[in-house]
Amino acid sequence: MTNELDIFVGNTTLIDEDVYRLWLDGYSVNDAVALRVRSGILEQTGATAAVLQSDTMDHYRTFHMLERLLHAPPKLLHQLIFQIPPSRQALLIERYYAFDEAFVREVLGKKLSKGTKKDLDDISTKTGITLKSCRRQFDNFKRVFKVVEEMRGSLVDNIQQHFLLSDRLARDYAAIVFFANNRFETGKKKLQYLSFGDFAFCAELMIQNWTLGAVGEAPTDPDSQVDDMDVDLDKEFLQDLKELKVLVADKDLLDLHKSLVCTALRGKLGVFSEMEANFKNLSRGLVNVAAKLTHNKDVRDLFVDLVEKFVEPCRSDHWPLNDVRLFLNQYSASVHSLDGFRHQALWDRYMGTLRGCLLRLYHD
């Protein structure tokens, strides 16, 4: 009697997404096996515990070998050792560079240095994220920062080109790089209600409007060191913001500005009387924030100042979000009717971004 046996030989690298997630989350092989057992995989597959242990170890070995390629994703695409379909390559990269909201909130705005890395034990304890996962996420932030910090051009495009991330994840990393470079304070108690998404939204507005790259002001000197067009704030713009002080220093301009806003909003705001009584304080707060941005410390404290000078006073008077929106729109637009004011374009560049940020920061 002749026995026939069909044999198929392939060299495609198998990737188990569930095991990959456990590896990314920092679990040891034994812990990963225990979690897989708890998921009911032995009953589902009929495998033995020994086979599951061997399977998990095999996957972990593969992931460890892939990790050096994941540090420079284009290398993963061009290597020939691991035969991985393009869709699987994209999944490996995207998930390797994904991060936990709780973790990024702890390090956002901090210097990506050894000093911060020493705090990862405490962050791991506080967030419940394994230390190994914290280290991976921190090292990813630092790696991306180091690669793109000196590059010309769009920060998001540079991140996508060198790390092959999705548009959304590249934008998140752009925010992380931007905050790390400018060292914005995000850890103060009064800022804890804000999510990473809130800060990332503001970062995107600032990158689009307040950096050198925002207005295409490439340096004329080819040897200029101003290469990081989307990473650094436009210092000339920040210096010019001092010109806005006239809006609150000139009593006639301040009174006229208030009159224009109140006339336009009378009968439209539920908190009109509170707005009218507090207009000058709110206006001084918003304009003084602009005038102080020439100093590094005041740049770092931007979000603290916005919450203290605008969000908290409005919140204490119970302004609904829609009233905040109506006020900011009219407050910004009315300046164009002030005949004595000569800095309309500067005002629009400042308030266009600030208005968007304040509406995002205001949780009524």
DSSP letters spanning 72-87: SHHHHHH-SSSB--HH
Name every residue whose Cβ is closer than 8 Å to that of residue 160 and which is 6 or more positions away in sequence.
167, 170
| Residue 347 shares a structural domain with residue 240 | yes
| Residue 296 shares a structural domain with residue 357 | yes
| Residue 36 shares a structural domain with residue 146 | no
Res 95: pLDDT: 98
Whether residue 119 is contained in a domain is answered as yes
Whether residue 323 is contained in a domain is answered as yes
| Residue 278 shares a structural domain with residue 186 | no
Whether residue 183 is contained in a domain is answered as yes
| Residue 79 shares a structural domain with residue 192 | no
Give me the mean pLDDT over the 95-101 stretch.
98
Whether residue 228 is contained in a domain is answered as no
Res 346: pLDDT: 96
| Residue 241 shares a structural domain with residue 355 | yes
Q: Is 211 left (phi over 0), alpha (psi -120 to 50) or beta?
A: beta
pTM value is 0.90
3-state secondary structure of 33: helix
283 vs 292: CA distance, rounded Å: 14
Res 114: pLDDT: 83
pLDDT digits (tens, 9 = 90+) for 41-63: 888 888 888 999 999 999 999 99
Domain coverage including residue 199: 101-210
Q: Using the predicted structure, report yes or no on whether residue 216 has a pLDDT greater than 90.
A: no
Give me the mean pLDDT over the 187-211 stretch.
96
The residue from 33, 55, 85 where one domain ends is 85
| Residue 77 shares a structural domain with residue 105 | no
pLDDT digits (tens, 9 = 90+) for 222-248: 444 454 578 899 999 999 999 999 999
12 vs 51: CA distance, rounded Å: 20
Number of domains in the chain: 3
